[in-house]
Amino acid sequence: MTNRTTSRIRRFSALIAGLAAASVALSGCLYAMIPEQAAPRPSRTSAPDTEGVAENLLQYYGQTLDWSACGSGFDCTEVTAPLDWENPGDGEIQLSVVRHQAEGTPLGSLLTNPGGPGASGVELIQGSLEFAVGAALIESYDVIGFDPRGVGQSTAVTCLDAAGMDDYLYGIPAAPRGTPEWEAELLQAHKTFADACEANSGGILEHITTINSAHDMDLIRAVLGDKELNYLGYSYGTFLGATYAKLYPEKAGRLVLDGAIDPSVPGLDVGATQALGFESALRAYMQDCLDSGECPFNGTVDDAMADLGALLASADRLPLESGDGRMMGADAMMTAIIAALYSQDSWGILTQALTEALQGDPATAFYLADFYNGRENGAYIDNSTEAFRAYNCMDYPVETDPAAEEATMARIREGAPTIAPYWNGPDSCEVWPYPPTGTRGEITAEGAGPIVVVGTTNDPATPYAWSEALAGQLEEGVLITRVGEGHTGYNKGNLCVDDAVEAFLLDDVVPEDGLRCE
């Protein structure tokens, strides 16, 4: 770890890119068996809602959607949106949308977002429908997934080829950790990545922002023919949903924000709070591992955490070679650990990965890290890392106060000693081609009506305090607490949470504020 105040706190949440709602991603993709869906019904097309739309936007809001079958039980379309909502004549982008039509009488559309920013909403719904939403919602809503601008099958951010991404995500710096030379290597890697994004993304980087994406979401609502937006957003999707409610309070219908981000928290505090959250989750995992009788570590939780720290330090000094010739250093090993902490269902795989790593074999750790980074058989199957960086570098103001940076690192060192050595480094957004346009501040969404916020007490990625904060900021925020481990709370097996969320989305029954689900 470096104590140099010129360093930036690494936005380690960038590593969250492929797993923004990792309880959806890891649990859903690694474990959930999704049953085959029924054949699609005849596609419905509703008249767009153009009431009150400005004349220069009518060509977008007045679109008639052309749906086509795209897999068993699903239909897909594209929506054309302005590249720049402030200047709608300056170009267009395409938004990819997938729909699973209600199996019963439809209440309307339910838009969803899996988080990130950068995770594919199309992939979430097509690949994990019954994990993303419960059966009652599938029965009563047209469930909608969409890839936000810059993501997946929409007009996308494109950066490096697979070899370049391997170097960027798995490369091991030649200089010792914490030295000026090490920082310079990392900053150059960030610049190479950023320059490639600018060169290969067709001029869209400046417009990949949450505010633009919230405007896109209102457009999707309107062309689907819905007068109000009904929405279920996970993780970063809570920030997108809250931003929508701020911009369009009169169009906000039933909104559920699960695993909330506090929009008022600066980037430095985001990194520190997440570091402490993952350390807490890691300690919970370690206690479970020790209790299982199959743990590669012994003694107390503190003993086991110290031994894990020694394993990471060893991989930092002497990376482990995989059977495919790749080398795993400490950063990639930490990525693997972080990936598995999103869901308690992944703890068994983490135990296997650490057991093998102690024996010199990083194969399972690479499996976790590759899943986290969207890497499969040497190729990258999504652009979640690229889109994540694009959104965050535009949404978060760059912070340059050396005293604040050092205070943040001191907080991380004290509260997350195992993770701390791998949580620092130059801020990748320092070399982004465009300055950020986003600001940080409370969102009250005055006039939007009740908005349900779900928080999990030991959520590592979006710590519970953020859900408390967002629910408190919103003019009519309602907090549901899930007591437990893992990221996000709805559709994770807690009937108390599920019943409250579904009663709200289906019947407009507002939960009791402060409902606590053990």
CATH number at residue 218: 3.40.50.1820
Q: Are residue 435 and residue 462 in the same domain, yes or no?
A: no
Q: How far apart are CA 237 and CA 467, in angstroms?
A: 13
Q: Are residue 426 and residue 466 in the same domain, yes or no?
A: no
Q: Are residue 238 and residue 350 in the same domain, yes or no?
A: no
pLDDT tens, residue by residue, 440-450: 999 999 999 99
178 pLDDT higher than 60: yes
Strands annotated E in 307-450: 320-321, 327-328, 375-376, 379-380
How distant, in Å, are the alpha carbons of 26, 281, 283 from that of 343? 7, 10, 14
Residue type, 318: L
Domain boundary among 417, 440, 463: 440
Q: Are residue 447 and residue 414 in the same domain, yes or no?
A: no
If residue 413 lies in a helix (H) or strand (E), which one and from where to where?
helix 402-415
Work out the burial of residue 509: count CB atoms within 10 Å of its CB; fewer than 13 is exposed, 13-18 middle, 19 or more buried: exposed
478 pLDDT higher than 70: yes
248 pLDDT higher than 90: yes
Average pLDDT, integer, range 143-170: 98
How distant, in Å, are the alpha carbons of 47, 184, 302, 380, 399 from that of 191? 46, 10, 38, 20, 18
Q: Are residue 195 and residue 320 in the same domain, yes or no?
A: yes
pLDDT at position 463 is 95
Where do we find the tokens 């790593």?
Answer: 357
How distant, in Å, are the alpha carbons of 147, 272, 295, 344, 413 from that of 301? 41, 22, 11, 17, 18
Residues sharing a CB contact under 8 Å with residue 437, sequence separation 6 or more, in sequence order: 209, 211, 394
Q: Are residue 318 and residue 333 in the same domain, yes or no?
A: yes
What confidence tier does 12 reach under pLDDT thresholds 50, 70, 90?
A: very low
Task: Tell me what percent of the residues of the chain surpass a pLDDT of 70.
Answer: 92
Q: Which residues belong to the active site?
A: 235, 459, 487
pLDDT at position 425 is 86
**Which of these ranges, 28-42, 130-144, 166-180, 282-296, has the smallest mean pLDDT?**
28-42
27 pLDDT higher than 70: no
Of the candidates 22, 4, 11, 8, which has an alpha carbon nearest to the alpha carbon of residue 336?
22
pLDDT at position 197 is 98
Q: The pTM is what?
A: 0.90
In a domain, 43, yes or no: yes
In a domain, 13, yes or no: no
Helix (H, G, I), strand (E, B) or coil at 75: strand
What confidence tier does 46 reach under pLDDT thresholds 50, 70, 90?
A: confident
Q: Pick the residue with more confidence: 162 or 6?
A: 162
- The packing angle between helices 384-395 and 180-200, to 10°, is 100
Average pLDDT, integer, range 349-365: 98
pLDDT at position 399 is 81
- Measured in degrees and rounded to the nearest 5, phi and psi for residue 179 equal -85, 160
Evaluated on CA atoms 116, 270, 488, 253, the torsion sign reads negative
Q: Are residue 314 and residue 334 in the same domain, yes or no?
A: yes
In a domain, 458, yes or no: yes
Q: How far apart are CA 450 and CA 509, in angstroms?
A: 10
Q: Which two tokens stand for residue 321?
A: 């070679």
- Measured in degrees and rounded to the nearest 5, phi and psi for residue 402 equal -60, -40
Work out the burial of residue 379: count CB atoms within 10 Å of its CB; fewer than 13 is exposed, 13-18 middle, 19 or more buried: exposed
In a domain, 69, yes or no: yes
Query: Residue 434 — left, alpha, or beta (φ > 0 → left; ψ -120 to 50 → alpha)?
Result: beta
In a domain, 324, yes or no: yes
What confidence tier does 43 reach under pLDDT thresholds 50, 70, 90?
A: low
DSSP 411: H
Q: Report CA 473 to chain centroid distance, whole Å.
A: 22
Q: Which residues pair with 273 in a beta bridge?
A: none
Residues 98 and 76 sit within 8 Å (Cβ to Cβ): yes
Domain boundary among 410, 440, 470: 440
Residue type, 254: R
Number of domains within the chain: 2
Q: Are residue 355 and residue 398 in the same domain, yes or no?
A: yes
470 pLDDT higher than 70: yes
User: Domain span at residue 489?
Assistant: 18-156+206-264+441-517
In a domain, 356, yes or no: yes
Helix (H, G, I), strand (E, B) or coil at 391: helix
Q: Are residue 483 and residue 457 in the same domain, yes or no?
A: yes
Q: Are residue 402 and residue 463 in the same domain, yes or no?
A: no
In a domain, 133, yes or no: yes
Q: Are residue 335 and residue 434 in the same domain, yes or no?
A: yes
Helix (H, G, I), strand (E, B) or coil at 138: helix
**Which of these ranges, 11-25, 329-343, 436-450, has the smallest mean pLDDT?**
11-25
Residue type, 513: D
pLDDT at position 7 is 24
Of the candidates 313, 315, 8, which has an alpha carbon nearest to the alpha carbon of residue 183?
8
Q: Are residue 174 and residue 318 in the same domain, yes or no?
A: yes
Q: Which two tokens stand for residue 146?
A: 């969409």
Residues 81 and 60 sit within 8 Å (Cβ to Cβ): yes
Residues 505 and 491 sit within 8 Å (Cβ to Cβ): no
26 pLDDT higher than 90: no
Residue type, 65: L
Domain boundary among 419, 440, 461: 440
